[in-house]
Structure 1
Amino acid sequence: MHDEILRTLAPPVRKTLVRVLAVPLVLLLVPATHPWSYLPSDDGGESPYSAGAPESSASDPAGGGSAEEPPPTGTPATSTAPTASAEEAAQAGALDEIVEKSADYRTSVQTAVDDASACGAAQGLDQDASALRGAAEARSSLASDVNALTLDQVTRGLDLKVLLQEALRLSATVDNHFADWAAAVDDGSCSASSVTDQADYLLATGEANEAAATAKQDFVDAWNPIAETYALRSWRADQF
């Protein structure tokens, strides 16, 4: 019908009418065939569809993106060593106190032996014999104290008890031999040149002394590495 109307019109009129009708037709067809050209953009500029793929917020491993790394899994390692419990430290400290007491008695034994070797020149042989006998009794008592200790929280606690008891028991034996020696030479005829030839002196400085020294060394070999973990003193065999 439109074609028939156009044919009845003069050529100049037809051309003008075609132009007039073509403009709105084109305006209607463009949005239909390219709808994205008229979509508004978020920032007032180009449409997000007009310039390639949208930018990702995730990091590209190959491109060195700036996204945060995922949090690590598991429990982080720690270099802090576990600390001893209060009870464990107290038990170890009680054992160390007994060693310290034995060390004090060893000092008094050494003083008495030195004086007896000089025939009691400083304090008298009777006083030397008394000091040596008292040290022997004290160390025997310390061995009993060790037996009464509870060391179940201390590493090698039972071994330490046995080793220290033996060391103290053998030390007491040596102290008694020295006491017998000091008493034996206290007869008014002591001579500095012959005092150390007496039988009890030879017993004290011979096998009995070697046995005590070996027992002490066995104890300190076991104790010192453990004492270090409690920040306690290390000992030498000749100190207690």
Structure 2
Amino acid sequence: MTGAGAVRIAKDDLVLGRSLGDGGQGVVWEVEKRLINKTWPVAYKEYKPDWLHKLHVDVLDRMVAFLPGRPAAEGEWMARHTAWPAALVTQGPDVRGFLMRQIPDEFFINVSGRRAAGFEFLLNPLDFVGRMVGEVSPRQMFGLPLALADTLGRLHEMGVVAGDLSPKNLLFSLSGPRPGCFLIDCDAMGLAGAWALEPAQTPGWQLPAGEAPETPQGDGYKFALLATRLFLHEQHGKDPSALRSVDRAVGDLAERGLSGTPSDRPALTEWLDPLRRAVDNAPVTWSRKRSAAATGSGSPQSGGPGAGPQNAPGPGTGGPAGPAGPAGPVGVPGTAHVPQPVRPAAGGPPGSGSGGRVVATLIGILCLIALAVWLTHHGGGSDESGDGGSGTGSGSGSSSGTSSQEETTETTSAREEQARALSGLLSENSGRRSGVSDAVRSMTRCSDLAGDRQVFAGAADARSELVDKLDALGVDRLPSSLVSDLRTAWRSSEEADRAYVRVVDVVSGNCTPSAVTGTSAWRDADSANSDATTAKQDFVAAWNPLADEYGLPGLSWTDL
């Protein structure tokens, strides 16, 4: 039944522009000549046939009718912070998709092109975040969960639950005076306990075993995970100690939020005041100690030896000055102060006083000059020199320099050629991770296990083939750690994909979401994914400066 107030628009009445994205569920198109609330550009999501069969159209219908039934101020707030379904799109009698607001411009970043600014970019070592997003201060890092807690808290008050609270579904902006957030994939949210699409859980962001995801307490758990990982500077981990070291009250909230007992978790509104105080009290730069700890092992550092991290405070590129010692004679650093010898009386032995030292020094200089002159005439024109011993060309030292220069040029050329070859191999892997992620979500809904199994098996075979190609590529001029990290990333991803195949085999015929996430194969996949994520982050941190050097596409770890 169609809920009162639900808007329906025929697809033939839409003027579609460029494609904005092609995911597992459907294709998103730009809609021309239409605005939401006469203000915001419109996008159209058209479900793929397989997902249309899984769609609860009546719930999507109620979602579209939801906002017109709320006070105008609430509807405007929702449109400013979410891509909530605004109208059903039909073809004949059938619903094909829905209209929503396009992602606002401030929620994009430029990383090898224009990309939606997902929170996933922030869950990385600080030097990686600096390259991908720009420097994010501790004050901003607290402002981000504050904006998200406020948004989720309001949604909960309206009877809306995010459910699959994934870093890819949460977008951030640092362009304004305060950080902001914007939620996408809203058709996967729950409204008054009903779901247009069966709830799913993103790998690495699952609730404790057996807990249903469609509750405010489930959102609270995943929010606590996000807050914890923002200050761990990584995509995984559940220890709030790093967060507590920056702000004890917020760290304590995170520990409560990660409780295995849903009733023990704080509501999102309980986070607001502590987070506001944390924003007010947080420093504008990271401490040097914390910057060093948050630098990934594969992340190159700026500056020369002794340089601190890029976003650490302190003068110049060196470390902070140590405490001042007592005043004394200025000498060479690191040497003991040697008392000056007593000047001998006049008439002493020749060379025993300062005059003697001067004479000795002059004699030494003259000897060096004489030696240099002799070498110029006798040592530079040997028969083994590059000019055949004529004595008119450069000596053997010059010949050696030319040879070294040519060797360096050849090495650089080979290095660039190998980097370009590796970039081509990386492009073969483009988009594979998103397909697997969609299949994982589908598997947790038990909706198309046969199709999901085919995706996992195909992805695993493709990863194995990529590793074989990498081994045959010949990349001896590139850093060995870079190649090793990529190999580990792809091998671990292959292991995870094959573990997902085993999950399907185990639960087929008796599938429930809890059965899927309760299998040992699911835990194997989770462990392999964790290893893959670490290796991908390390690879990308080393690859992007190299790619930038040769004008090649940079990557986010999620591209692998």
TM-score normalised per structure 1: 0.57
SS at structure 1 position matched to 2:511: coil
* Matches of 1:195 and 1:174, distance apart in 2: 14
Task: Please point out which of 446, 449, 453 is paired with 1:129.
Answer: 453
Report matched runs for 1:21-36 at 5 Å.
none
The residue correspondences of 1:84-163 to structure 2 (distance < 5 A) are 88-119=415-446, 121=447, 124-154=448-478, 156=479, 158-163=480-485
Q: Which residue of 1 aligns with 2:549?
A: 229
* Residue number in structure 2 paired with 1:239: 559
> Which position in structure 2 is the counterpart of 1:179?
501
How far apart in 2 are the matches of 1:111 and 1:125?
12
1: CA distance, partners of 2:532 / 2:496: 8
Offset at 1:175?
A: 0.9
Q: Is the 8 A contact 1:126 1:183 kept in 2?
A: no
Q: Does 1:168 align with 2:490?
A: yes
Question: What RMSD in Å do the two structures reach over aligned CA positions?
Answer: 2.2
Whole-angstrom distance in 2 between the partners of 1:97 and 1:150? 13
- Contact 1:133–1:176 (8 Å) recurs in 2: yes
Matches within 5 A, 1:57-68: none
Where in structure 1 are there 5+ consecutive unaligned residues?
1-81
CA contact (8 A) 2:464 2:494 kept: yes
Partner secondary structure for residue 430 of structure 2 = helix
Deviation at 1:153? 4.6
Deviation at 1:227, TM superposition (A): 0.8
Unaligned runs of 5+ in 2: 1-408
Tell me the amino acid that sits aligned with residue 431 of structure 2.
D
Which deviations, in whole Å up to 9, do the C-alpha atoms of 1:88-134 show, x marking residues without a partner?
44421221222232333212211211111110x2xx21121121011
* Partner SS state of residue 502, structure 2: helix
Aligned mates of 2:449, 2:539 — CA distance in 1? 33
Partner of 1:190: 511
Cα offset for 1:194?
A: 3.6
Q: Distance in 1 between matches of 2:516 and 2:484?
A: 36
Matched letter for residue 469 of structure 2: D
In terms of Rg, which structure is larger?
1
- How far residue 191 of structure 1 moved from its aligned partner, in angstroms, is 1.6
> How far apart, CA to CA, are the structure 2 residues paired with 1:159 and 1:214?
13
Residue identity in the other structure for 1:171: S
Aligned equivalents of 2:542, 2:443: Cα separation in 1: 34
The corresponding residue for 2:340 is: none
Deviations for 1:44-85, whole angstroms, at most 9, x for unmatched residues? xxxxxxxxxxxxxxxxxxxxxxxxxxxxxxxxxxxxxx9x97
Give CA deviations for 1:194-225 in whole Å, capped at 9, x if unaligned: 432222112211x2221111111121121111
Kindly indicate whether the alpha-carbon contact (under 8 Å) linking 1:147 and 1:161 is maintained by their aligned counterparts in 2.
Answer: no
Q: Residue 200 in 1 paired to residue 547 in 2? A: no
Q: Is the 8 A contact 1:224 1:235 kept in 2?
A: yes
Tell me if structure 1 keeps the 8 A contact 2:507–2:515.
no
Is residue 160–residue 223 contact of structure 1 (8 Å, CA) maintained in 2?
A: yes
The amino acid that maps onto 2:489 is A
Supply the AA of the counterpart residue of 2:455: A
TM-score for both structures, normalised by structure 2? 0.25
The count of corresponding residues between Structure 1 and Structure 2 is 151
Q: Which moved more, 1:97-106 or 1:165-174?
A: 97-106
- Matched letter for residue 547 of structure 2: A
Contact 1:217–1:237 (Cα < 8 Å) also in 2: yes
Tell me the amino acid that sits aligned with residue 160 of structure 1: L
Report how far residue 138 of structure 1 moved.
0.9
Residue in structure 2 matched with residue 27 of structure 1 by the alignment: none
Structure (1/2) with the larger strand percentage: 2
Q: Which has the higher contact order (CA 8 A, sep 6+)?
A: 1
**By how many angstroms is 1:142 displaced?**
0.5
What letter corresponds to residue 539 of structure 2 in structure 1? F
1:211 aligns to what SS in structure 2? helix
Provide the rounded CA distance (Å) in 2 between the counterparts of 1:181 and 1:193.
12
1:239 & 1:153 partners in 2: Cα distance? 24
